[in-house]
Amino acid sequence: MADIEERMKKTIDSLKDSFNTIRTGRANAAIFDKVRVDYYGTKSPLNQVATIAIPEARSVIITPFDKSLISEIEKAIQVADLGLNPSNDGKVIRIQIPALTADRRKELVKQAKTVAENSRTAIRNIRRDGNDDLKKQQKDGTLTEDGLKTETDKLQKLTDKYIEEMKKEIDIKLYDNLMYENKDDCKIVTIDMDSNEKPYRIVPILEENNIENIENRINLGILTAPVYTISN
């Protein structure tokens, strides 16, 4: 069972890594994780040939260790299809992260959902492998019928645990980072939270008739903040 849990944990870690590479409208060094630079014939990760600094929320400065690589780095970022337009002054590469357009956000949401579905499938396949192994143990006589039921129940609980963790990561990425990042998609409403201040919160228009769901996600820690918050 420990091996099964380790595989499920790695699936969640992989999901997080994949989500990190899907850019939002904010600067994040992780979006460059899959950028590979031609370093004298070898495809090397960007962070091995340059430093990546985030001086402002929408600004990135990339400083090559070897200045002769600046053109290769710029080219690698362009072909990575990140929707970014790097420029260089011969010493550093500067990138201004544009706000997501509605079309680009829909595209990224679709990409995130594909990643999420692949992870769900992976978890289900791991559960299937676990069940097959348990049935084999019973057939071999190393596991009783009662033991099979007990271990099968444990496996299902383990699966449920990681599916819930996966749902949390998906909610964070889709609702907190991607789908409703633009104020144009939001409106001001009042959420009656357990707080003396009871602030006004700007929440997604698509969710305006589902405030209870938003409250639940906040209380569960799934939605860390409903996109934008302003004081009274």
> What size, in residues, is the chain?
232
Instruction: Write down the pLDDT at residue 204.
Output: 42
Q: Give the up-direction half-sphere exposure of residue 64: CA atoms within 13 A in the CB hemisphere.
A: 20
Q: How many Å apart are CA 47 and CA 60, to the nearest integer?
A: 13
Q: How many Å apart are CA 82 and CA 27, to the nearest integer?
A: 12
Mean pLDDT of 192-206: 40
Q: 1-24+100-179 has which CATH code?
A: 1.10.132.20
Report whether pLDDT(130) > 80: yes
Higher-pLDDT residue of 221 and 132 is: 132
CB neighbour list of residue 159: distance below 8 Å, 6 or more residues apart:
8, 123, 124, 126, 127
Report whether pLDDT(22) > 50: yes
The total of other beta-carbon atoms located within 10 Å of residue 210's CB is 12
Q: pLDDT tens-digit profile of 104-122? A: 777 777 888 888 889 989 9
Q: pLDDT tens-digit profile of 138-196? A: 988 888 989 999 999 999 999 999 988 888 777 766 655 544 444 444 443 334 444 44
Q: pLDDT tens-digit profile of 68-108? A: 999 999 999 998 878 788 999 999 999 988 776 777 777 77
Per-residue pLDDT band for 232 (boundaries 50, 70, 90) equals: very low
Q: pLDDT tens-digit profile of 35-59? A: 999 988 889 999 999 999 988 878 8
Instruction: Write down the pLDDT at residue 177.
Output: 52
Instruction: Write down the pLDDT at residue 57.
Output: 76
Mean pLDDT of 9-16: 91
Percent of the chain with pLDDT over 70: 72
Per-residue pLDDT band for 7 (boundaries 50, 70, 90) equals: very high
Report whether pLDDT(16) > 80: yes
**CATH class for the region spanning 26-96:** alpha beta
| Extents of the domains making up the chain | 1-24+100-179, 26-96, 180-232
Per-residue pLDDT band for 28 (boundaries 50, 70, 90) equals: confident
Report whether pLDDT(126) > 60: yes
Report whether pLDDT(222) > 60: no
Q: How far is CA 76 from the centre of its chain?
A: 22
